[in-house]
Structure 1
Amino acid sequence: MNLYLFNPDHDMALGNNSAYYQAPASALKMANDLFWLPAWVVPDADSFVALPSTGRIEEWVQTLPVCPRVEWGCLTDGWGRCREIHPWGWNRALVHRLKEQGVADALLPGDMFLEERRFLASRLRAVELLSELADAPGRCGVSRACRSLEEINEELKPSYEGCPTPRKLLKAPWSGSGKGLRRLDSGKLEEPVANWCNRILSAQGAVVVEPYYQKVADFAMEFYADGAGKVSFQGYSLFNTDANGAYKENFLKSDARIVAALSGHVPAALLVEVQQELCVRLAAMLGQSYVGYLGVDMMVCAFEQAPFYRLHPCVEINLRMNMGMVAHRLYTRWLSPRSEGIFRVDCFKTPSDLQEDHRRQEKAHPPVVKDGRMESGYLSLTPIGEGTCYRAALWAIPLSGKL
């Protein structure tokens, strides 16, 4: 049996890199509220989803119009029978926490594995991969890894080739979604940002400097690495981010319709070309060091000179399970082929706000299910209780009509 658990603080834990890292309250709350999310994307057979508690889950599961057929329970109910543990991502803090809960060492990765995984998950690998991909017709992308304030200031000068704007984006090598980023509109390193850079340089050894492109669309290509040197393409993810760059929602569409939407700006042949290159280059980068899903975030960017739209082929590499892969699985497994949809993760200020919205969505968009798949309507993918503030949900929309 394979045991699955959701630890959304993974990227922050990689940045801290301590076995004793304590996630912020918001990340712990998100993990506690969205614990059921992996159930929708794992295989029905031979899967166990670990929950923080089982108090409200059984009653909620019985109300679902469609439901995964997986085993579930507290971690202690499952780890003694499992062959492998599959978290959102492995890090030192998670291994330490699992050991404290009695998980056997044989089920946990060692220090060498964890250090190599952290190395591969750094944004510095995205810098390296972008340098191999960007210099081709129809593409864009400049990214520099700086290891001192002097190097950062040099990169802020609007002089290097391929920079379409004086605005810059600074990134920490490891951070959570939408975190560890600083936007500079002036091109000058003012004191608060300089202090932030010094902290990142001291803790993580580098700061990544990039142009702040005029983005037209966010999307990703999803892959699977088999640990034997092969990386295979799994599908596309079309998504939105908020003003801070944090993940907001995915559009649940077929790969063909995502490509059709993107090809209004960049040629479909270019997407296929980049996809094939990535399978080769990711395989060379990962070798036998990684088994699992990963996503490469991309952008379509606008320019004042021809070509007016260009493909940024590597904004981020998410070396873990990710929301894009969740969305792709939700579409292929739970939506009717006659429908599209939206997958969204929301955070409400209070539990009562979430409960009110949940009731409103259920009333306005009752689920319609045919052959075990959503044709239309709203479905909360995670239970909503008295203390819940986070929700993962989907809205199915018929291709021939409206929600």
Structure 2
Amino acid sequence: MSSSKDPKIFVYNPTCEIAIANGTVSYMPNKMLSQFEKDLDVLPMYFAKEKDIVLVDRIPDQEFIASIQKTGLSIPAFRKFEASLRDKDFISLNKESLEPWGWSPRIHHIFNELKSACSPAFSNRANSNWKKEHKDLYSRKKALEILHTFLDNSRQDKYIDKQDTAKICTSVSHVEELISAWKQIVIKAPWSSSGRGLQVLRQSHLNDSIVQWIKGTLDLQGYLMVEPLLNKQFDFSLQYYIHENGKIDFLGNGFFSTNSNGQYDSNILGGMPEEMQKYLPKKDMQELADGIKEVLGSDLAKNYCGYLGVDCMLFLDQDQKMRIQPCLEINLRYNMGTLALIFDQYLHPESKGVFKVHFQPKSTFDQFHKSMSDKHPFKIKDGKWHEGYLPLVSFTQNRIFGAYLSLESIKKQ
């Protein structure tokens, strides 16, 4: 019988949506995605407590561990992922729960032998085993259903018009019809994340490579989501946690930025950016968070336990009025928004900054770290993170991908 003193077991698998789309327990990420998972595999440590265990490809070096301990964070135990899955003592070790970044048929298969040593609370979770019907929960189609339910119960004109939300397409000709109607569109694969699996079309025609991508995605996933390209001004998210009993906690907001193709770039630390505040007052944000929570409670909470983030957007409509897209997509997993909320707790009130994933072709995170740590030394003020550069993964292991915080002091008036 396990107890709360037993460890949670964490693993970083951000390719879970692609694994769900693939559907097989033998799915393997491509070389670049596999490198991404391995290089950033310590990130779950920031959710973990000292008693917990993070499974990794390489044990982080002591220099990195020491640098994190100096910030006031507690450090969990690390074990090699593949070796642990073959270790009989580890398999039989009492565990509080299994905490992958996100669930999929593949990670359920990998964790299968570990489940019998988990707590009853974990076993009672709606998603402690994979069911066929879980696949649709992770799709953009499910996010569209949540959006429509929310809009049906919201009469205010501050939200997007229902007619401007995504359409489900099963053919190239249907996509072409929507281009004729909307001129500029975004085409999205039903299962993908962080702005991957999408095509932004600013011209009103399909070229050969886009047609090929559409056909390939239709063959693999069965349909596409197509929506008008909105005049986006700000990205933000609503972060929630669904408990085993279906109770939902609203954890706060995430503020993030994307590149011109809609791919994730960074999370903003230190609360709502000042330029957003006049468009999204606290009252409106609370109303939105409560409304989405209510819809989630009547739908997803029956089949899911864990963290989730709902991506939203502020955009200008055709009349140049600022409006809210309240549910662009739902990330049913640990995500960078939840991680940013944890970092915000340690941030000095006179500081702001960004949480970024680093990638530069032809160089390593080690090289980037040397440059940044010299130019922007990390500083603590009043026991809180104040300014400078803080690496979030090892910086002496020749990693291609990295993650870090960059903080600056705000001059108080």
Instruction: Normalising by structure 1, report the TM-score.
Output: 0.87
In the TM superposition, residue 150 of structure 1 has moved relative to its aligned partner by: 4.1
Q: What are the superposed Cα offsets for residues 136-194 of structure 1, whole Å, 9 maximum, x if unpaired?
A: 41111511112334433333331xxxxxx520111110023222112223333444323
8 Å CA contact 1:224, 1:294 repeated in 2: yes
Distance 2:117 2:206 in 1: 48
8 Å CA contact 1:35, 1:51 repeated in 2: yes
8 Å CA contact 2:366, 2:395 repeated in 1: yes
Say whether 1:153 aligns with 2:176.
yes
Distance 1:206 1:149 in 2: 10
Equivalences, count: 385
State the partner residue of 2:158.
138
Say whether 1:13 aligns with 2:19.
yes
In the TM superposition, residue 234 of structure 1 has moved relative to its aligned partner by: 0.6
Amino acid corresponding to residue 20 of structure 2 in structure 1 = L
SS in 2 for 1:341: strand
Q: What are the superposed Cα offsets for residues 228-285 of structure 1, whole Å, 9 maximum, x if unpaired?
A: 233221111111112222211111013xx45x54232344433222111101001111
State the partner residue of 1:294.
308
In the TM superposition, residue 292 of structure 1 has moved relative to its aligned partner by: 0.7
Q: What are the superposed Cα offsets for residues 287-346 of structure 1, whole Å, 9 maximum, x if unpaired?
A: 32111110111111113415x2111111111111100111111111x3223322211111
Amino acid corresponding to residue 272 of structure 1 in structure 2 = Q
Amino acid corresponding to residue 139 of structure 1 in structure 2 = Y
Say whether 1:283 aligns with 2:297.
yes
In the TM superposition, residue 34 of structure 1 has moved relative to its aligned partner by: 1.2
Distance 1:371 1:96 in 2: 46
State the partner residue of 2:76.
70
8 Å CA contact 2:61, 2:396 repeated in 1: no
8 Å CA contact 1:38, 1:49 repeated in 2: yes
* Aligned-pair identity (%): 27
State the partner residue of 2:56.
51
SS in 1 for 2:130: helix
User: Aligned-pair RMSD on alpha carbons?
Assistant: 2.5
State the partner residue of 1:326.
339
Say whether 1:216 aligns with 2:210.
no
8 Å CA contact 2:244, 2:305 repeated in 1: yes
Amino acid corresponding to residue 277 of structure 2 in structure 1 = S
State the partner residue of 1:38.
44
Structure 1: give runs of 5+ residues left out of the alignment. 159-164
Q: Residues 357, 112 of structure 1: CA spacing in aligned structure 2 closer, same or farther, 3 A cutoff?
A: closer
Distance 1:310 1:104 in 2: 45
8 Å CA contact 2:387, 2:406 repeated in 1: yes
SS in 2 for 1:294: strand
Distance 2:227 2:18 in 1: 21
SS in 2 for 1:157: helix
In the TM superposition, residue 85 of structure 1 has moved relative to its aligned partner by: 1.0
Distance 1:340 1:79 in 2: 42
State the partner residue of 2:323.
310
Distance 2:178 2:116 in 1: 45
Amino acid corresponding to residue 3 of structure 1 in structure 2 = I
Say whether 1:178 aligns with 2:183.
no
Distance 2:400 2:309 in 1: 27
Instruction: Normalising by structure 2, report the TM-score.
Output: 0.85
State the partner residue of 2:4.
none
SS in 2 for 1:193: helix
Amino acid corresponding to residue 356 of structure 1 in structure 2 = Q
- Superposed, 1:190-209 pairs within 5 Å as 190-209=207-226
